[in-house]
Amino acid sequence: MAARIDRAMVLAAGRGVRLRPLTDHLPKPLVPVGGIAMLDRALDALARAGVSQAVVNVHHLAAQIEARLATRQKPAIHISREDELLETGGGIAKAMSHFGDEPFFAANADIVWLDGAVPALTRLAGAWDGARMDALLLVQPVARAVGYDGAGDFALTRDGQLERRGAAPSAPFVFAGVQILHPRLFSGAPAGAFSLNLLYDRARADGRLFGLAHDGGWLHVGTMDGLAAAERALAGKIG
């Protein structure tokens, strides 16, 4: 039976420096791709998956994001303001009181994923096993990652655990920016700003970091060239 995931965190605080000058006056999560802001795409997908409440962290041009979210009905939005950027791990840790003791979705607001035959969030919830997992990351095959030119992040073991690329020249999967996390992952987490990678590595050492290969399209919108590639992909209905 699929896990019931009712709450989510959407990471929307970053500056989007590689998309300048566009992001000098527009927060990266509000950049439209295919005519829809990336933040709206993420929240719409969470609403369709049954998420009733989502925390959105804000920092860069925060007032614009807050104004956009003020009229949203589903999911209900809680704003987490960051006077200083707390990075991915610190941003979620600051909002942890919203999640209680239950697993929750976390999604980056600056990527675009396209569902396969079954929505990615539904697949993640179906694959979640709280007895074995502290984190379940959606990972995209590098060969099908539009706009991505990196070396990949992870390999998947036969039982679904994630292994770092390490010293290898490449890895077959890149983190897709969508995941399920359990609050226990943050037990003993440092104060202030830190990357989720710190907690991923700890979970990996305990055998509790898992991945699920995405079966749909994925668009990396990190640069102006990436944005153009994403627009072309959507226009061609790739994914």
* CATH number of the domain that residue 188 is part of: 3.90.550.10
Write down the pLDDT at residue 141.
96
pLDDT (0 to 100) of residue 112: 92
Q: Report if residue 140 sits inside a domain.
A: yes
Residue 237 pLDDT: 58
Task: Dump strand ranges (E) for 100-197.
Answer: 104-108, 111-114, 135-141, 145-146, 154-156, 162-164, 173-181
Q: Is residue 188 one of the residues assigned to a domain?
A: yes
Is residue 47 domain-resident?
Answer: yes
Mean pLDDT by 10 residues, the chain (239 residues): 87 84 86 92 96 96 94 94 95 96 95 94 97 98 91 95 94 97 96 96 97 94 84 73
Within a domain: 2? no
Hey, which residues does 113 pair with through a beta bridge? 218
Question: Omega before 103 cis (within 30°)?
Answer: no
User: What is the span of the domain harbouring residue 202?
Assistant: 7-235
Sign, Cα dihedral of 128, 211, 10, 236:
negative
135-141 and 173-181: which strand pairing? antiparallel
Q: How many domains in the chain?
A: 1
DSSP 3-state of 78: strand
Taking each helix axis from N to C terminus, what angle separates 62-69 and 38-48, rounded to the nearest 10 degrees?
40
Which helix (H) or strand (E) segment holds residue 57: the answer is strand 53-58
pLDDT at 161: 97
Tell me whether residue 1 is in a domain.
Answer: no
pLDDT at 210: 98
Task: Round to whole Å and give the CA distance between 23 and 20.
Answer: 5
- Rounded Cα distance between 16 and 13, Å, is 9
The answer for 171, left when phi > 0, alpha when psi is -120 to 50, beta otherwise, is beta
CA distance 130 to 197: 20
